[in-house]
Protein backbone atom coordinates (compact mmCIF):
# COMPACT_ATOMS: atom_id res chain seq x y z
CA UNK A 1 0.00 0.00 0.00
CA UNK A 2 1.25 3.46 -0.90
CA UNK A 3 2.44 5.47 2.11
CA UNK A 4 2.62 9.25 2.48
CA UNK A 5 2.96 11.52 5.52
CA UNK A 6 0.08 13.95 5.94
CA UNK A 7 2.59 16.80 6.27
CA UNK A 8 3.91 15.98 2.80
CA UNK A 9 0.39 16.13 1.44
CA UNK A 10 0.02 19.50 3.15
CA UNK A 11 3.11 20.79 1.34
CA UNK A 12 1.63 19.58 -1.95
CA UNK A 13 -1.72 21.27 -1.24
CA UNK A 14 0.04 24.50 -0.28
CA UNK A 15 2.05 24.50 -3.50
CA UNK A 16 -1.19 24.38 -5.43
CA UNK A 17 -2.65 27.22 -3.36
CA UNK A 18 0.51 29.26 -3.75
CA UNK A 19 0.11 29.17 -7.50
CA UNK A 20 -3.65 29.67 -7.63
CA UNK A 21 -4.91 31.75 -4.71
CA UNK A 22 -3.58 35.26 -4.17
CA UNK A 23 -5.37 35.62 -0.81
CA UNK A 24 -3.28 32.99 0.96
CA UNK A 25 -0.38 33.90 3.23
CA UNK A 26 1.56 31.06 4.85
CA UNK A 27 3.37 31.58 8.15
CA UNK A 28 5.81 29.42 10.01
CA UNK A 29 7.96 29.64 13.12
CA UNK A 30 11.33 28.32 11.95
CA UNK A 31 10.09 24.82 11.15
CA UNK A 32 9.18 25.28 7.50
CA UNK A 33 11.25 22.35 6.25
CA UNK A 34 9.58 20.02 8.76
CA UNK A 35 6.02 21.34 8.43
CA UNK A 36 6.48 21.52 4.65
CA UNK A 37 5.41 25.14 4.40
CA UNK A 38 8.79 25.56 2.68
CA UNK A 39 7.08 23.95 -0.33
CA UNK A 40 4.80 26.99 -0.47
CA UNK A 41 7.70 29.37 0.01
CA UNK A 42 9.33 27.92 -3.12
CA UNK A 43 6.38 28.81 -5.34
CA UNK A 44 5.20 32.03 -3.64
CA UNK A 45 8.01 33.53 -1.52
CA UNK A 46 6.30 36.94 -1.32
CA UNK A 47 3.39 35.39 0.54
CA UNK A 48 5.50 33.37 2.95
CA UNK A 49 6.26 34.77 6.41
CA UNK A 50 8.76 33.26 8.81
CA UNK A 51 8.27 34.77 12.27
CA UNK A 52 11.25 33.01 13.80
CA UNK A 53 10.99 30.93 16.95
CA UNK A 54 7.99 32.78 18.32
CA UNK A 55 4.77 30.77 18.23
CA UNK A 56 2.71 33.29 20.17
CA UNK A 57 3.54 35.97 17.64
CA UNK A 58 2.89 33.45 14.85
CA UNK A 59 -0.73 33.28 15.95
CA UNK A 60 -1.05 37.00 16.70
CA UNK A 61 0.31 38.00 13.30
CA UNK A 62 -1.95 35.45 11.62
CA UNK A 63 -4.92 37.02 13.43
CA UNK A 64 -3.92 40.48 12.18
CA UNK A 65 -3.56 39.24 8.61
CA UNK A 66 -7.01 37.63 8.81
CA UNK A 67 -8.41 40.93 10.11
CA UNK A 68 -7.38 42.52 6.80
CA UNK A 69 -9.47 39.96 4.89
CA UNK A 70 -6.70 37.61 3.79
CA UNK A 71 -6.39 33.89 4.58
CA UNK A 72 -3.38 33.03 6.74
CA UNK A 73 -2.17 29.46 7.26
CA UNK A 74 -0.10 29.26 10.46
CA UNK A 75 2.05 26.18 10.87
CA UNK A 76 4.38 24.75 13.46
CA UNK A 77 4.49 21.57 15.54
CA UNK A 78 1.20 20.68 17.27
CA UNK A 79 2.87 20.98 20.67
CA UNK A 80 3.88 24.61 20.20
CA UNK A 81 0.84 25.68 18.18
CA UNK A 82 -1.74 24.51 20.69
CA UNK A 83 0.37 24.50 23.86
CA UNK A 84 2.71 27.46 23.71
CA UNK A 85 0.29 29.68 21.82
CA UNK A 86 -2.97 28.43 23.29
CA UNK A 87 -4.16 31.69 24.74
CA UNK A 88 -3.36 33.69 21.62
CA UNK A 89 -5.37 31.16 19.59
CA UNK A 90 -8.17 31.47 22.13
CA UNK A 91 -8.29 35.25 22.48
CA UNK A 92 -6.98 36.60 19.17
CA UNK A 93 -8.25 33.96 16.74
CA UNK A 94 -11.22 32.02 18.13
CA UNK A 95 -12.85 34.73 20.26
CA UNK A 96 -13.02 37.22 17.34
CA UNK A 97 -13.73 34.29 14.95
CA UNK A 98 -10.93 35.29 12.62
CA UNK A 99 -10.28 33.31 9.46
CA UNK A 100 -7.00 31.69 10.50
CA UNK A 101 -6.08 28.16 9.44
CA UNK A 102 -3.81 26.58 12.02
CA UNK A 103 -2.22 23.53 10.44
CA UNK A 104 0.03 21.76 12.90
CA UNK A 105 2.30 18.83 12.19
CA UNK A 106 4.25 16.35 14.35
CA UNK A 107 1.28 15.44 16.50
CA UNK A 108 1.15 12.39 18.76
CA UNK A 109 3.79 9.93 19.94
CA UNK A 110 4.70 9.05 16.33
CA UNK A 111 6.83 12.21 16.36
CA UNK A 112 9.37 9.59 17.37
CA UNK A 113 12.95 10.38 18.28
CA UNK A 114 12.33 13.95 19.48
CA UNK A 115 10.50 12.47 22.43
CA UNK A 116 7.87 13.50 24.95
CA UNK A 117 8.61 17.23 24.99
CA UNK A 118 7.60 17.38 21.32
CA UNK A 119 4.81 14.80 21.16
CA UNK A 120 1.48 16.61 21.49
CA UNK A 121 -1.09 14.28 23.01
CA UNK A 122 -3.37 17.04 24.30
CA UNK A 123 -3.92 19.20 21.21
CA UNK A 124 -7.29 17.81 20.12
CA UNK A 125 -8.60 18.27 23.63
CA UNK A 126 -7.29 21.84 23.86
CA UNK A 127 -8.64 22.91 20.48
CA UNK A 128 -12.00 21.20 20.78
CA UNK A 129 -12.73 23.02 24.06
CA UNK A 130 -12.47 26.44 22.39
CA UNK A 131 -15.72 27.94 21.02
CA UNK A 132 -15.77 28.84 17.29
CA UNK A 133 -12.93 26.41 16.55
CA UNK A 134 -13.26 23.70 13.91
CA UNK A 135 -10.98 20.70 14.50
CA UNK A 136 -9.96 18.32 11.72
CA UNK A 137 -7.71 15.24 11.83
CA UNK A 138 -7.12 13.86 8.32
CA UNK A 139 -6.47 10.14 8.04
CA UNK A 140 -4.17 10.11 5.02
CA UNK A 141 -2.52 12.18 2.34
CA UNK A 142 -5.53 12.31 0.04
CA UNK A 143 -7.84 13.45 2.80
CA UNK A 144 -5.27 16.06 3.88
CA UNK A 145 -5.28 17.62 0.42
CA UNK A 146 -9.09 17.60 0.32
CA UNK A 147 -9.25 19.16 3.78
CA UNK A 148 -6.91 21.99 2.82
CA UNK A 149 -8.98 22.73 -0.29
CA UNK A 150 -12.19 22.76 1.78
CA UNK A 151 -11.01 24.93 4.66
CA UNK A 152 -9.88 27.67 2.28
CA UNK A 153 -13.54 28.05 1.30
CA UNK A 154 -14.79 27.94 4.91
CA UNK A 155 -14.69 31.24 6.77
CA UNK A 156 -13.56 30.88 10.38
CA UNK A 157 -10.81 29.45 12.54
CA UNK A 158 -9.74 25.88 11.87
CA UNK A 159 -7.23 23.57 13.53
CA UNK A 160 -5.84 20.77 11.36
CA UNK A 161 -3.79 18.04 13.01
CA UNK A 162 -1.13 16.38 10.87
CA UNK A 163 1.63 13.88 11.52
CA UNK A 164 5.30 13.43 10.84
CA UNK A 165 5.40 9.79 9.82
CA UNK A 166 4.20 8.11 6.66
CA UNK A 167 0.74 6.57 6.78
CA UNK A 168 -1.03 4.27 4.29
CA UNK A 169 -3.16 5.97 1.65
CA UNK A 170 -6.73 4.79 2.16
CA UNK A 171 -8.72 7.15 -0.05
CA UNK A 172 -8.61 7.63 -3.78
CA UNK A 173 -9.03 10.92 -5.51
CA UNK A 174 -12.80 10.52 -5.89
CA UNK A 175 -13.22 11.01 -2.12
CA UNK A 176 -15.23 14.08 -1.13
CA UNK A 177 -14.41 15.55 2.27
CA UNK A 178 -17.03 17.63 4.00
CA UNK A 179 -16.46 19.53 7.26
CA UNK A 180 -18.51 17.90 10.03
CA UNK A 181 -19.24 14.66 8.15
CA UNK A 182 -17.69 11.32 9.04
CA UNK A 183 -17.07 8.76 6.35
CA UNK A 184 -17.91 5.11 6.76
CA UNK A 185 -15.06 3.16 5.26
CA UNK A 186 -16.50 -0.27 5.89
CA UNK A 187 -20.07 -1.18 6.76
CA UNK A 188 -20.63 -3.70 9.53
CA UNK A 189 -23.20 -4.87 12.05
CA UNK A 190 -21.42 -6.22 15.17
CA UNK A 191 -19.26 -3.37 16.43
CA UNK A 192 -18.46 0.22 15.46
CA UNK A 193 -14.82 1.29 15.32
CA UNK A 194 -14.46 5.07 15.23
CA UNK A 195 -10.93 6.25 14.53
CA UNK A 196 -9.10 9.37 13.48
CA UNK A 197 -5.71 10.23 12.01
CA UNK A 198 -3.14 7.47 11.75
CA UNK A 199 -5.44 5.05 13.60
CA UNK A 200 -7.92 4.88 10.71
CA UNK A 201 -5.71 2.61 8.59
CA UNK A 202 -5.13 0.42 11.64
CA UNK A 203 -8.88 0.25 12.26
CA UNK A 204 -9.37 -1.06 8.72
CA UNK A 205 -6.69 -3.72 9.29
CA UNK A 206 -8.36 -4.64 12.57
CA UNK A 207 -11.68 -5.06 10.76
CA UNK A 208 -10.04 -7.59 8.42
CA UNK A 209 -8.67 -9.59 11.36
CA UNK A 210 -12.03 -9.43 13.12
CA UNK A 211 -13.78 -10.73 10.02
CA UNK A 212 -11.77 -13.94 10.33
CA UNK A 213 -12.90 -14.13 13.94
CA UNK A 214 -16.51 -13.83 12.86
CA UNK A 215 -17.00 -10.22 13.98
CA UNK A 216 -18.36 -7.84 11.36
CA UNK A 217 -16.99 -4.40 12.25
CA UNK A 218 -18.13 -1.04 10.91
CA UNK A 219 -15.22 1.41 10.47
CA UNK A 220 -15.82 5.13 10.64
CA UNK A 221 -13.26 7.85 9.98
CA UNK A 222 -14.03 10.71 12.37
CA UNK A 223 -11.95 13.28 10.55
CA UNK A 224 -13.88 16.28 11.84
CA UNK A 225 -13.62 16.25 15.62
CA UNK A 226 -15.56 19.51 15.78
CA UNK A 227 -18.31 20.05 14.75
CA UNK A 228 -18.81 16.39 15.62
CA UNK A 229 -20.99 14.15 13.46
CA UNK A 230 -23.30 13.02 16.28
CA UNK A 231 -25.79 11.46 13.89
CA UNK A 232 -23.21 9.20 12.25
CA UNK A 233 -22.17 7.90 15.68
CA UNK A 234 -25.70 7.35 16.94
CA UNK A 235 -26.92 5.64 13.75
CA UNK A 236 -23.99 3.28 13.64
CA UNK A 237 -24.06 2.34 17.33
CA UNK A 238 -27.83 1.84 17.24
CA UNK A 239 -27.08 -0.87 14.71
CA UNK A 240 -23.99 -2.43 16.33
CA UNK A 241 -24.73 -1.76 20.05
CA UNK A 242 -21.05 -1.28 20.99
CA UNK A 243 -18.10 0.87 20.01
CA UNK A 244 -14.32 1.15 20.14
CA UNK A 245 -12.58 4.48 19.59
CA UNK A 246 -8.99 4.77 18.36
CA UNK A 247 -6.82 7.87 18.39
CA UNK A 248 -3.18 8.84 18.75
CA UNK A 249 -4.01 11.23 21.58
CA UNK A 250 -4.64 11.17 25.29
CA UNK A 251 -7.81 9.24 26.11
CA UNK A 252 -8.91 12.33 28.06
CA UNK A 253 -10.53 15.01 25.97
CA UNK A 254 -10.04 13.59 22.50
CA UNK A 255 -12.05 11.42 20.11
CA UNK A 256 -12.93 8.83 22.76
CA UNK A 257 -14.33 11.54 24.99
CA UNK A 258 -16.28 13.10 22.13
CA UNK A 259 -17.90 9.78 21.19
CA UNK A 260 -18.68 9.08 24.86
CA UNK A 261 -20.34 12.47 25.26
CA UNK A 262 -22.61 11.82 22.29
CA UNK A 263 -23.53 8.30 23.35
CA UNK A 264 -24.32 8.95 27.01
CA UNK A 265 -26.71 11.69 25.95
CA UNK A 266 -28.35 9.79 23.12
CA UNK A 267 -27.76 6.07 23.12
CA UNK A 268 -25.70 4.65 26.00
CA UNK A 269 -23.67 1.66 24.83
CA UNK A 270 -20.51 -0.17 25.93
CA UNK A 271 -17.41 1.68 24.77
CA UNK A 272 -13.68 0.98 24.90
CA UNK A 273 -10.89 3.36 24.00
CA UNK A 274 -7.59 2.85 22.23
CA UNK A 275 -5.39 5.87 22.86
CA UNK A 276 -2.55 7.25 24.92
CA UNK A 277 -3.30 6.23 28.50
CA UNK A 278 -2.65 9.60 30.14
CA UNK A 279 1.13 9.34 29.89
CA UNK A 280 3.69 11.42 27.98
CA UNK A 281 5.41 10.22 24.84
CA UNK A 282 9.10 9.35 24.65
CA UNK A 283 11.96 8.92 22.22
CA UNK A 284 12.18 6.02 19.81
CA UNK A 285 11.37 4.87 16.31
CA UNK A 286 7.76 5.84 15.55
CA UNK A 287 6.59 2.28 14.82
CA UNK A 288 8.22 0.99 18.02
CA UNK A 289 6.59 3.75 20.03
CA UNK A 290 3.17 2.99 18.59
CA UNK A 291 3.71 -0.61 19.75
CA UNK A 292 4.87 0.53 23.16
CA UNK A 293 1.91 2.85 23.66
CA UNK A 294 -0.48 0.21 22.31
CA UNK A 295 -1.63 2.28 19.38
CA UNK A 296 -1.85 -0.79 17.19
CA UNK A 297 -4.13 -2.89 15.04
CA UNK A 298 -3.92 -5.67 17.63
CA UNK A 299 -4.97 -3.38 20.44
CA UNK A 300 -8.04 -2.37 18.45
CA UNK A 301 -8.84 -6.06 17.95
CA UNK A 302 -8.38 -6.68 21.71
CA UNK A 303 -10.64 -3.81 22.65
CA UNK A 304 -13.29 -4.94 20.17
CA UNK A 305 -13.30 -8.41 21.70
CA UNK A 306 -13.57 -6.83 25.14
CA UNK A 307 -16.43 -4.51 24.23
CA UNK A 308 -18.17 -7.25 22.31
CA UNK A 309 -18.45 -9.28 25.53
CA UNK A 310 -20.00 -6.30 27.29
CA UNK A 311 -22.89 -6.02 24.83
Partner 1 sequence: METKFIEEKAKEIRREIIKMLGEAKSGHPGGSLSGADIIAALYYKEMKLDPANPKWEGRDRFVLSKGHAAPLLYSVLALKNYFKIDILKTLRKTGSILQGHPDMNKVPGVEMSTGSLGQGFSAAVGMALSFKIYNKENRVYALLGDGECQEGIVWEAAMAAAHYNLDNLVAILDNNGLQIDGKCSEVMCLGSLHNKWTAFGFHVIDVDGHKIDQIIDAFDEARTIKGKPTLILAKTIKGKGVSFMEDRAEWHGSAPSMEQVILALEELK
Residues contributing to the site for partner 1 (CB under 8 A): 25, 46-47, 49, 51-52, 54, 56-57, 59-68, 70, 72, 87-88, 91-92, 95-97
| DSSP secondary structure string for all residues of 131-147 | TT-EEE---SHHHHHHH
Could you give the dihedral angle defined by the CA atoms of residues 119, 171, 188 and 233, in that order, rounded to the nearest 10 degrees?
60
Whole-number minimum distance, CB 24 to partner 1, in Å? 11
Whole-number minimum distance, CB 88 to partner 1, in Å? 6
CA distances from 226 to 31, 75, 218 (A): 27, 19, 21
Of residues 60 and 275, the one with the C-beta less far from partner 1: 60
Is 55 labeled as catalytic in the residue annotation? yes
- Kindly report whether the peptide bond that precedes residue 227 is cis, defined as omega within 30 degrees of 0: yes
Say how far apart CA 271 and CA 60 lie, in whole Å: 40
Catalytic one of 2, 55, 282, 288: 55
Cβ-contact 281, 117 below 8 angstroms? no
Of residues 100 and 124, the one with the C-beta less far from partner 1: 100
Of residues 133 and 289, the one with the C-beta less far from partner 1: 133
Query: CB under 8 Å to 122, separation ≥6 — which residues?
Result: 82, 83, 249, 250, 253
Task: Give alpha helix (H) positions in 99-229.
Answer: 123-128, 141-153, 199-212
Cα torsion angle, 122, 278, 244, 209, sign: positive
What are φ and ψ of residue 81, in 5° steps?
Answer: -65, -55
Whole-number minimum distance, CB 29 to partner 1, in Å? 10
Whole-number minimum distance, CB 270 to partner 1, in Å? 43
Of residues 51 and 289, the one with the C-beta less far from partner 1: 51
Of residues 47 and 303, the one with the C-beta less far from partner 1: 47
Whole-number minimum distance, CB 28 to partner 1, in Å? 13
Cα end-to-end span (Å), the chain = 34
Active site residues: 55
Amino acid sequence: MEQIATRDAYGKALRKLGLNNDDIIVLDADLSKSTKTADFQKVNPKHFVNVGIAEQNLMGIAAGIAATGKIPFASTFAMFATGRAFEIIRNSIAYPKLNVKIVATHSGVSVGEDGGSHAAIEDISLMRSVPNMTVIVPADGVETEKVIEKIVKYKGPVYVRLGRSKVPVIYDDSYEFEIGKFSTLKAGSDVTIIACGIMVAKALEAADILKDKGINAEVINASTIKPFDDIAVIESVKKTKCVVTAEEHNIYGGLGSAVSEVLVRNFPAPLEMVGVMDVFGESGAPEELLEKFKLTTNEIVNKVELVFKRK
